[in-house]
Amino acid sequence: MGGQGRKSLFPFKDDLLEYMRGQRAKEMYLRVLHLVLWIKRNHQPWLLQYIEAKKSFASGYESLGHLLRVYFDMPPWKTLAEVGKSSKVDKKTMHSERISVVLTVRADGVKLPMLFIIKGQSGRPLKKKELLTYDPAHVYAVQANAWMDYRVWNIYLERLFA
């Protein structure tokens, strides 16, 4: 993050770069959101001062996002990497999990249980370690593309009216 002769806007640029390099060394995703959250955790007074100097709260965050993008390449999927460095991501974090959620409300305003449609092969059980985190008040179905189809809709209706 060289300033090319100009003073850096980030007084903590070395710490930020160290955080970024640490994340990338572990081949973890690194996005502008991660950098903003790091700044919020570690340099909140600076962040507040930066945002207050802008027209609005929203434009302050937008400006910060643009500023962070200046220093880093943005390869596919918007994973940040230092200019000229690899954007490779660990295969374990690269898998693409898909889930669709259906939120339903009755005409009288009562919320019905959520329907979670998980991408997978229907008829196969979900991993038992994952089932411990699922709220039994909601309905879960597995579908090849995590889409609503006739079978999934029937699962939901059977659960609602059982």
- pLDDT score of 77: 46
pTM, two decimal places: 0.46
pLDDT in tens, 52-70: 998 888 888 888 887 776 5
Name the percent of the chain lying above pLDDT 90: 18
Low-confidence ranges of the chain (pLDDT < 70): 1-6, 27-29, 69-97, 123-132
- pLDDT score of 76: 37
- pLDDT score of 114: 92
- 55 burial level (CB within 10 Å; 0-12, 13-18, 19+): exposed
- pLDDT score of 42: 94
Q: Hey, CA dihedral for 66, 72, 78, 84, is it positive or negative? A: positive
Q: How, if at all, do strands 115-119 and 99-102 pair?
A: antiparallel
Residue 8 has φ and ψ, to the nearest 5°, of -70, 140
14-29 burial: b if 16+ Cβ within 10 Å, else e: eebeebbeebbeebeb
Q: Any idea where the domains of the chain sit in the sequence?
A: 13-90, 96-160
